[in-house]
A and B are shown apart, each in its own frame.
Chain A
Amino acid sequence: MSELLYQTTVTSIGELVPSFVAEGMLVFFGENAPEELHSFCVLHKVEHQSGELLAGDVVNIDGNEFTVLAVGPVASENLMQLGHLNLKANGRTQAELPGDVCIAQVALPTVIVGSKLTIKRN
């Protein structure tokens, strides 16, 4: 039985998002993020959130699963308060920056409007 921590649907993709993806990162923000952040962000509308994000949790983007390797000290608070997630496919087991959520060094999936992101704990 897995516990659902977060569930959200993508509502817009900034024009600079592909260049961030090329560097192995996806930056998410809740829909009410200020406009100046929109160009490099994936905006989304939260449907469920609870608890705290921890290493070992599983991020699922449209069926692609990624185990969280490391969570920076401010990352969970960012996610729960602002819908802000810096997902970094860098394979690090220690977050380099305090806001980082690290997963394996893999190609990030293409996120589109309507994409679903969930985070679960198994």
Chain B
Amino acid sequence: MADVAGPSPEAEGAKPLLEVRDLVRDFDVSPPWLNRFVERAPRQVLRAVDGVSFAIERGDTLALVGESGCGKSTVARLICGLYEPTSGAVLFDGVDLATIARRTDMLTMRRRFQMIFQDPYASLNPRWRVKDIVAEPIRSHGLAKDAASLREQVARLLTQVGLAERDGDKYPHEFSGGQRQRVSIARALSSNPEFLVCDEPTSALDVSVQAQILNLMKDLQRQHGLTYLFISHNLAVVSHIANAVGVMYLGRIVEIAATRTLFGRPLHPYTRMLQSAIPDITMSGKPRTPVAGEVPNPLDPPSGCAFNPRCPHAREKCRVERPPLAPFDGAHVACHGIHEGWVPIRVAAAAA
């Protein structure tokens, strides 16, 4: 499965379930009109996602990782249609979502992919009973013949995510964070989707609850043949759940590879930096590689490679020319140094 990821999925075999081509999204963050007029300030545009391409095969999990502001959540929202792309395309099962004109066709398409959000407190309507929350997608997509079948489906979904049927009569506030995330998952599954976009689904949860939710997600994936796009900042979680990982920095994918390849042999200096920043439980007391600097202001990104001000290997070329995401020995990486051979390649000792 090493070739699941990468911008050129037309290699051979079946079409990927989801493909994203050169996705770009700008946000207008200009001051209000009057300020612009009085202060003669220009319009300001923040490019949150800048030419992102990837593909996910049916039944796989692609994770996008990166620090706050790298654009990973924006990608998730673009795919789900919560934002319109500025340019680029999202293809689901070979169909460009932007070309779907009829509302009913769009609705049919929407049924096939769903989203799970980070905060289970904010994503459930506090005034609805859980059974109504879970039933809503079934109703709106007309997936139940009658009330009895609807009830039966809701009960099945609740048991599937590890809740009891009678929990349906409760309100969200009666549940703990982990149980609420189970409700979110039941709701996402209720329209019988093939693809789930999960935006930091376990970040708000305690570790023991996180383990429960990750196990549940893996079980459901196996049972239903689900495909996941998993957004997270936690590399350990990602290494556990994903087949392939894309690392994002300032709106771009800087490295994308199969999970084992990426963690066993991180190429991009940013990927290495992220990896060495994970607190390691086993090496108690030993110092870790110091990480320098912070993510630059996305309104004013550095020229050339966006990582160059923090990169220990940066050369003149990195400051001038932006490296393309190009294949390199089983991975895709955007780094001049790797492709031209002046960044040494290290194999991580942990994963072999």
A, B from the same assembly: no
Q: Using a CB–CB distance below 8 Å, which chain B residues touch chain A?
A: none
Q: Using a CB–CB distance below 8 Å, which chain A residues touch chain B?
A: none
